Structure 1
Amino acid sequence: MNQKELPLLNPVSLPHPGKLLIIEPLDYPNPYDFHRAHRHDYFEIILVKSGNGFQLIDFSPYNIKEGQLFTIYPGQVHLMERKTAQGMIIQFKKDIFEFIHPLKHSHLYFSEASFDLDDETFTHLYDMTESIWDLLQKEELSALSIHKAYSYLQIILITLIEKHCNNTVDIQGHQVVTQFLSLLPQNIKTKKKVSEYCDLMNCSSDKLNLACKNRLGKTALKLIHEELILEIRRLLLLNQLSLKEIAYELNFDSPANFSGFIKANTGLTPTELQLSILKIYN
């Protein structure tokens, strides 16, 4: 099949497309079937005030508990069972970073989706989230009120970045890695070489590899292969394309090379991998 003929894999869009920032209660009625695995085209921060539940974020399981915070970025596969969990959800588009300079969306690509915060920090972030919620309930917001809401969000994001980087000595290396990790999901379908990402980042392969090894204990190529396997798993889970179509979607030279790549990195055939994934999410 020609790649242009492939069906589109549309992610779930922000419920109110005309807004850059939305706050919702954790138990709000989703405009899509949240009981099925889905992927967003926006960032989501989940703050759990009480109760419990369970969720899967890109195939990693997380128990939901009181005082916990989760971050989900565009393209990740997500499935959540709220059970008794109560809290707030912050949803925002990448475009909002134009208004909260100098933060960049790449700063939110954390190594773990879950944050275990102390009571004081969680209460601080939750109170600011509720302040944004109160502002956004007004039918008409002044330019200053909108800026105020964005400022609250900026403080929340800075706090999370500080928590994530608390033990990071090499700040420059951290910035290189976060930029690389943010570029991977955007370019993985067409770029699979370290040199291609170095060109995008205007840095040398030695610098990128050193930063990746220091921060994550892996080479840049290993991270590229992990992201590619992750995207394959996402497409297999969505079950909208055949194996051959996925191979072409991800620009493999042939279905045989596609199968060989999966076998080498997972020890499974594409069919075996898909069956194992569907079993997890059913």
Structure 2
Amino acid sequence: MKNFQLNDESLYISAAHNAIERLILDAFLYMPSDEINRDINFDYLYYVNRFKVLLQRDFKKNKKVSYYAGKLNISSRKLTEMTEYILGKTAKHIIIEKILGECKKSLHFSNHTISEISYNLGFSNEGNFSNFIKKHTGKTPSELKIVSKV
């Protein structure tokens, strides 16, 4: 954190925010489930929040709905039903949004190469990373990096 503070104030603020958010989300993972009312809204909200916590923690290694559903001991279909009910989006869409957001942040704020960014975000190679970005934004990572620096 000290390095961020010395190099770039906005990057420091972002890193501090992410660190605090991570602590809060990690704490939520260990909250006993019996403290949650069994009302369907709370039940869905509980699972969706746990999904978001797991996604925040594991998105670099696991990009499939089935992984997160398995961690929650529910089916992929049930997880998607819950995310659509609570957030109005499929679980897959939420995963894609998370990965895209992290990609854009990395392209904007880091001086790493596109290859390094793709590796850091858990893509097996730069080609997969580039295809993912192009498919979901219509632009290449290079185009996004240039736009971000302007």
Q: Which residue of 1 aligns with 2:34?
A: none
Aligned pair in 2 of structure 1 residues 225, 106: CA closer, same or farther (>3 Å)? Answer: farther
Residue 128 of structure 2 is matched in structure 1 by 257
1:221 aligns with 2:92: yes
Q: Could you list the runs of 5+ residues in structure 2 that have no partner in the other structure?
A: 32-38
Match of 1:241 among 112, 129, 142: 112
**For 1:270 and 1:32, how far apart are their aligned partners in 2?**
27
Identity %: 30
Residue 251 and residue 105 in structure 1: after superposition, are their counterparts in 2 closer, same or farther (change >3 A)? closer
Cα offsets for 1:78-124 (capped at 9, x unmatched): xxxxxxxxxxxxxxx44994xxxxxx2699xxxxxxxxxxxxxxxxx
> SS where residue 5 of structure 2 aligns?
coil
1:213 partner amino acid: E
Specify the alignment match of 1:36 in structure 2: 10
Task: Tell me the equivalent position of 1:182.
Answer: 53
Q: TM-score, normalised by structure 2?
A: 0.78
More helix by share: 2
Return the offset for 1:169: 6.9
Aligned to 2:63: 192
CA positional deviation for 1:271:
1.2
Deviations 1:20-51 (A, max 9, x none): xxxxxxxxxxx9256332312532xxxxxxxx
Letter in 1 for 2:9: H
Secondary structure of the structure 2 residue equivalent to 1:225: helix
Alignment RMSD (CA, Å)? 2.8
Choose 245-254 or 197-206, whichever is displaced more. Answer: 245-254
CA contact 1:106–1:179 (8 Å) conserved in 2: no
Cα distance in 2, alignment partners of residues 226 and 95 from structure 1: 18
TM-score by length of 1: 0.44
Query: Conserved in 1, the CA contact under 8 Å of 2:79 and 2:91?
Result: yes
> Do the aligned residues in 2 keep the contact of 1:237 with 1:277 (CA within 8 Å)?
yes
Count of paired positions: 138
List, as ranges, runs of 4+ consecutive aligned residues in structure 1 with deviation greater than 6 Å: none
